[in-house]
Structure 1
Amino acid sequence: MMIIGFQTANYFARATNYQTSMDLWGEAERKVIETFSLAEFDRICGDIQGAGFQDIELWMGHSFPKFMTPFFAEELQKIWKSHGLSVYSYSCSLGDPVRYPRWTRLCFETAKMLGIELITSGITKESAPVIYSLCNSNAFIGDCVKSSLGHACNTAFSISLKGIDFSDPQQNEEPKI
């Protein structure tokens, strides 16, 4: 089954009143994260529904891992569902899992809280084996799907989170890298 979805990252410039460019993505992303609200997410979902989409890829700027709580995750779910939308993927930066594995774990936990079973991320060729190892370790048991890991410095990477239980103490141990 093919899914044609809308990426909420398309709204990265809204927080700057569209006074930005792709060259200033980082600044706009920070502004989105700093000013984000449930009301803004409701407007975004309304726009997406109004454009005729039913499926979305939720961008981390609209669900930032550092600030995610079960309550906030539930509220985001209520909003997208109230617009008849389904989320097929959590789009985030998994960061540098070698030096900062805690951030990578936060991304996994955020997707899980949101009930999203697929993470999409750009990763470096050097971090690909570490991400893959994390997916297959006791901490992140699941199906990892690699895409051209040996061919490019940055590549799409999809991770299925089916079967991961973050409440299991054994799975919450820091992965041994």
Structure 2
Amino acid sequence: MRIDEGKICFITANFVGRAVNYSLKPFDWGKADEATQRLFQSDAFEKEFSELMRIISNAGFKTIELWTAHLNYGKATQGQIKKAKQILERYELSVHAYAGSLGNSEEELDQSFALAQTMGAKILAGGLDARLLDKAYKLCQSYKIRLAFENHPNRETPEKIKDMIGNKGDWFGACVDTGWFATYDIDASEAIVALK
């Protein structure tokens, strides 16, 4: 079965616990993220990236939201980027969005946009330092890539996300993580309506 790529894509961050064999008790996203980054910055990159894409492709997906821990804008080598593109092509997968922490400096933000463009992403999703909003807006226009703010800490409410979007809705938007709304006891369906 193939999934309509215009409607849904696989979020590679779903594999957050894979690098630690899903063994963290209690689960700690930060530790799992660090372990994933270590694994995907090692000599095992090609094998691990290929295995993830095989699983995703076999599940019927054609598009992915690529997590920064699987191909980090500040740490991936040109060789890893080239291999990632070859592996995606082999499994007939395309990158619709590049997601995660998008940087705390102008340099990191530039790197995240550049890698997103290289991978063919149309959207950057996640979070960044609010001081970088004007720079991000200029990069959106330059790269022709939209930026979607995820409702994580410091932007956990619809109001905070709307404040970040401000008058830049032509390039900025929201990326909803319904589980995070629940973490803050916010009704996800009401929050989504509020973000319209």
TM-score w.r.t. the length of structure 1 is 0.71
Q: How does 1:126-141 map to 2 (within 5 A)?
A: 127-136=132-141, 140=142
User: SS at the partner of 2:61?
Assistant: coil
4+ long deviations beyond 4 Å: 123-127, 143-150, 153-160
Q: State the match for 1:103 in structure 2.
A: 108
Structure 2: segments with no counterpart, 5+ residues: 173-196
Q: State the match for 1:142 in structure 2.
A: 144
User: Does residue 152 in structure 1 map to residue 185 in structure 2?
Assistant: no
Q: Tell me by how many angstroms 1:153 deviates.
A: 5.1
Q: How does 1:12-161 map to 2 (within 5 A)?
A: 12-20=16-24, 24-36=28-40, 37-96=45-104, 100-123=105-128, 127-136=132-141, 140=142, 142=144, 144=146, 151-152=159-160
- The alignment of Structure 1 onto Structure 2 pairs a total of residues equal to 154
Check 1:71–1:21 CA distance in 2 against 1; reply closer, same or farther (3 A cut). same
Give, as a single letter, the amino acid of the residue that structure 1 aligns with 2:8: I
The answer to which of 108-117 and 54-63 deviates more is 108-117
Q: Tell me by how many angstroms 1:135 deviates.
A: 3.5
User: Does residue 8 in structure 1 map to residue 12 in structure 2?
Assistant: yes
Structure 1: segments with no counterpart, 5+ residues: 161-177
Contact 2:85-2:119 within 8 A present in 1 as well: yes
Give, as a single letter, the amino acid of the residue that structure 2 aligns with 1:62: H
Contact 2:146-2:171 within 8 A present in 1 as well: yes
TM-score w.r.t. the length of structure 2 is 0.64
Give, as a single letter, the amino acid of the residue that structure 2 aligns with 1:115: G
Higher relative contact order, structure no. (Cα contacts within 8 Å, ≥ 6 residues apart): 1
Q: Tell me by how many angstroms 1:158 deviates.
A: 9.8
Q: Distance in 2 between matches of 1:113 and 1:158?
A: 22
Give, as a single letter, the amino acid of the residue that structure 1 aligns with 2:9: G
Aligned-residue Cα RMSD (Å) equals 3.4
